[in-house]
Amino acid sequence: MSPDQLTEYLHRQIPLSAAMEATAVSATTQSVVLSAPLAPNINHKSTVFGGSASALAILAAWAVVHLRLRDAGLSCEVVIQSNRMDYDKPITGTFAATSSFADEADWAGFLKPLQRRGRARIEVRSILTCGGEEAGRLTGRFVAFLREGS
């Protein structure tokens, strides 16, 4: 899936991403980078609203799981189960979230229960940046459910 296709998919399936003006900068099965401008995500302090920062980080993490499952030919529903978000500094402009698997070796251990029991959990990270500097990070646990007939 190209970055443009991922952007369109997110806007269609998760309308908040369109309201945030989130766009995919890159999209691979190893990492997804999403970007969003300040204006639609601004708070009363003229910085990015924490909920928008968290949402972009979650979207990027969700997207890398979605793309990896799609690449493996598995039709799944993916939802977030839990997350931890750390904010290091105010975000004052266009910001990005770069996702990756917490431990690439976890993927094989994720696929086995998914194919055997129809559901599995995996941890994904997202790093928030603004102006080339790290501004925060998310660690999230995502659950995938095989769709019937997969």
Domain extent for 45? 3-146
Q: Per residue in 52-108, pLDDT tens?
A: 999 999 999 999 999 999 998 999 999 999 999 999 999 999 999 999 998 888 898
d(CA 123, CA 19): 27
d(CA 107, CA 114): 11
pLDDT at position 150 over 70: no
Cβ-based neighbour number of residue 111 at 10 Å? 17
pLDDT at position 149 over 80: no
Rg over alpha carbons for the chain, rounded to the nearest Å, is 15
Residue 102, domain CATH = 3.10.129.10
Instruction: Specify the number of domains making up the chain.
Output: 1
State the DSSP H helix or E strand holding residue 54, giving kind and residue range, or none if neither. helix 50-71
Q: Tokens 């939802």 belong to which residue?
A: 79
Mean pLDDT confidence for 28-41: 96
d(CA 90, CA 144): 33
